[in-house]
Amino acid sequence: MPTYKYEIRESGGAVTAGLMESPSLSEATAKLRSLGGYLLNVAPAGGGATTLLNRLRNAQLQLGPGLKDVRNFTNQLAVMIKAGINIRSAMEGIAEQTDNVKFRKILAQVRGDVESGKSFSEALARHPKVFSPLYINMVRASELSGNFAHMLGRISAYLGQQVETRNMVRGAMVYPCIIAFMAVATTIFLLTFVLPKFSALFAGKEALLPLPTKLLLGMSAFLRHYWYIVIASVAAVVGGFWYAIRTPKGAIYWDAAKLRLPLFRKMLRALYITRGMHTMGELISAGVPMPETLKITSDISGNHTYRSIWDSVYKSVLQGEKVATPLARQRTLPRSVVQMISAGEESGKLGEVLRDIADYYANELRNSIKALTAMLEPLMIVVMGFIVGFIAMSIILPIFKMSSLVK
């Protein structure tokens, strides 16, 4: 029968650790919870591969909570609040079912702050790395209006859309990255393992070799003898670029360059517009003041170009202008978007209009990702085929030329 190790925190605060035998992990968990106290951890106590897998899983669970963790927490909390469960019991139940260790501790701290008399939004504000300003402000607005459970549901839907958008963008990049990696790996393999086998055949006949073959032979020799220089150069370029785009000026230039990339600019524009409009729409509908809404929208924009747009709108609104007025002076947002925002302000339905714009550009984002993927896949295959074909022809052509001379 498998053995499991466990840790339980007693009501007095002491932590007890031990071992127990049980047919399965679920049964071991149920038995340990029936003993009372707070179950901190339970895991197989075996060795070998099982221990390694458990260590990897535990290491993953020790990482900070991600967007999916926060979304799942929000969704569960909304359901439990709607069911009439008080927030203290709901937080306790959710924390017990949370696998992420750090997130479990954060939820325990939030529950403790609520029990000490703080509002839920104040308790969340103590963890800004986990709960965004948008999240906190929407919760704060719901506390004032009394629609707490409904607002949690809207926050969960918002986070769900953010997760879906992020997955779509990442998924669109997976296949091209794989093809690019395979192209580079194949080229290195041909230059370092296949081409050197023909060097003896071409020795002494360099004058007969065409220019492409000479270039490939030179590249092959350089890769085989000075490979460390190539690795160091690639690492230096990648590291330098990575460092440059994290400097203030470098980040601004890179964000502007991304919006001018031929294949990606339409997708990225739809991404940033969707993110900004959806955020603004949710905050305005929640009753958050316009200056705070614009400040949060600027912070989560994800691009310095769009951040500067929302910052300028924020300054103009503080001076008494409407949102559409400074946006009309910008060229980054489409004219139709500015017109719809202006109409929403005039009709008093700006929140609904912004959500409609976000839905439209979310659909545009999906279509852009599909078009980009459909375009990149054959393009990368053609590039890979050209590289391999060029190397193959550079090897075959001199062989044909030498055989014709022999005849």
Distance CA 222, CA 228 (A): 10
pLDDT of residue 85: 85
- Percent of the chain surpassing pLDDT 90: 9
pLDDT of residue 253: 92
Query: Does residue 367 have a pLDDT over 70?
Result: yes
Q: The pTM is what?
A: 0.69
Query: Does residue 90 have a pLDDT over 60?
Result: yes
Distance CA 26, CA 4 (A): 11
Q: Please identify, among 161, 190, 221, the residue that sits at the C-terminal boundary of a domain.
A: 161
The DSSP result for 142-196, as a single string, is: HHHHT-HHHHHHHHHHHHHHHHHHHHHHHHHHHHHHHHHHHHHHHHHHIIIIIGG
Model confidence at 15, pLDDT cuts 50, 70, 90, reads: low
Q: What is the mean pLDDT of residues 88-114?
A: 84
Q: First and final CA of the chain: distance in angstroms?
A: 78
pLDDT digits (tens, 9 = 90+) for 171-219: 777 877 887 888 888 888 888 888 887 777 777 776 777 788 888 888 8
- Percent of the chain surpassing pLDDT 70: 89
Q: Please identify, among 161, 184, 207, the residue that sits at the C-terminal boundary of a domain.
A: 161
Q: Which residues span the domain enclosing 40?
A: 3-61
Residue 298 and residue 189 share a domain: yes
Cα angle 33-39-44, degrees, rounded to a multiple of 5: 90
pLDDT of residue 11: 64
Q: What is the CATH number of the domain that holds 248?
A: 1.20.81.30
Residue 29 and residue 110 share a domain: no
The whole-chain average pLDDT of the chain stands at 81
The DSSP result for 206-233, as a single string, is: GGGS-HHHHHHHHHHHHHHHSHHHHHHH
pLDDT digits (tens, 9 = 90+) for 158-179: 888 888 888 887 877 787 788 7
* More confident of the two residues 147 and 48: 147
Closest CA to 292 of 321, 313, 271: 313
Q: How many domains does the chain have?
A: 3
Residue 183 and residue 293 share a domain: yes
At 396 the three-state DSSP class reads helix
